[in-house]
């Protein structure tokens, strides 16, 4: 039974390594795709001058690759969970440190890949949003040049309202962050006070235990003396 479990764990490790190699290759391609967004602007001079076909195909490729990597990460997570379950059943009695070390290594690799994927995807999304914003600004500038003065004032007013809304949102986020930090600070302060209180109580407890021990010794000595006196009195009474 144990040998069968070890063989199954070996198969899971092989599958995990295959998934890790595949994820590694996908992440390299995904990272190169992120740099291609920057190359569009460098080649064309502006993101608006890049052919729409190239931009749409890159967006489709980004979504497809992101979905594939997410699926591979989910599969690797499932394999790691299975290895964890079987490894735990084996190591309950045998305490096989090598299996635990291997399992931890696969978990670390999964965590690194997940972190790298999230970071690359966030960078690409931020770049896309920035390019979309810049493209919107350029279109607004072109419209500004071709529109009438009254339309320009209306659009400028809309821009100001949007800017105020964005500023209000950022201020709200900052205030929420400040409140969370304040709550965390209060919690940490309470924990520190409790720890200090416990640290101050330990010497008192130790002193109390010592006093109890001294009183037990004293009671034992008194009891011994009483017993000895009783024995002596009994002996004297017997002889008389």
Q: Is 168 exposed, middle or buried (0-12, 13-18, 19+ CB in 10 A)?
A: exposed
Distance between CA atoms of residues 152 and 148, nearest Å: 6
2-44 helix and 52-94 helix, angle to the nearest 10 degrees: 160
CATH 1.20.58 assigned to 2-146: yes
Cβ-contact 30, 65 below 8 angstroms: yes
Helices (H), the chain: 2-44, 52-94, 97-146, 149-239
Each residue's pLDDT tens digit, 50-105: 444 455 677 788 888 889 999 999 998 998 888 887 776 665 455 467 777 888 88
Q: What is the Cα 3 distance to its own chain's centre?
A: 35
Task: Name the residue with tokens 């096989």.
Answer: 96
Q: What is the pTM of this model?
A: 0.48
Distance between CA atoms of residues 33 and 61, nearest Å: 8
The CB density around residue 80, as the number of other CB atoms within 10 Å, is 18
**pLDDT for 71:** 92
Distance between CA atoms of residues 95 and 100, nearest Å: 9
């Amino acid at each position: 039974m144990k040998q069968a479990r070890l063989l199954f764990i070996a198969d899971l490790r092989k599958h995990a390594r295959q998934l890790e190699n595949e994820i590694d290759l996908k992440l390299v391609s995904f990272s190169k795709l992120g740099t291609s967004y920057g190359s569009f602007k460098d080649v064309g001079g502006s993101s608006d001058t890049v052919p729409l076909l190239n931009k749409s195909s890159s967006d489709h490729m980004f979504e497809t690759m992101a979905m594939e990597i997410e699926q591979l990460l989910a599969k690797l997570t499932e394999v790691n969970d299975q290895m964890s379950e079987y490894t735990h059943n084996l190591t309950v009695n045998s305490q096989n440190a090598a299996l635990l070390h291997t399992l931890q290594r696969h978990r670390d690799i999964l965590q690194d890949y997940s972190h790298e994927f999230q970071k690359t995807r966030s960078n690409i999304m931020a770049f896309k949003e920035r390019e979309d914003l810049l493209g919107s600004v350029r279109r607004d500038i072109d419209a500004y040049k071709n529109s009438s003065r009254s339309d320009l004032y209306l659009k400028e007013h809309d821009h100001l309202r949007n800017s105020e809304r964005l500023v209000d949102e950022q201020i709200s986020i900052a205030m929420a962050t400040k409140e969370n930090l304040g709550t965390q600070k209060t919690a940490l302060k309470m924990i520190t006070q409790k720890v200090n209180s416990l640290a101050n109580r330990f010497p008192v407890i130790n002193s109390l235990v010592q006093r109890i021990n001294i009183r037990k010794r004293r009671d034992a000595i008194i009891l011994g003396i009483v017993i000895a006196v009783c024995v002596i009195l009994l002996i004297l009474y017997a002889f008389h």
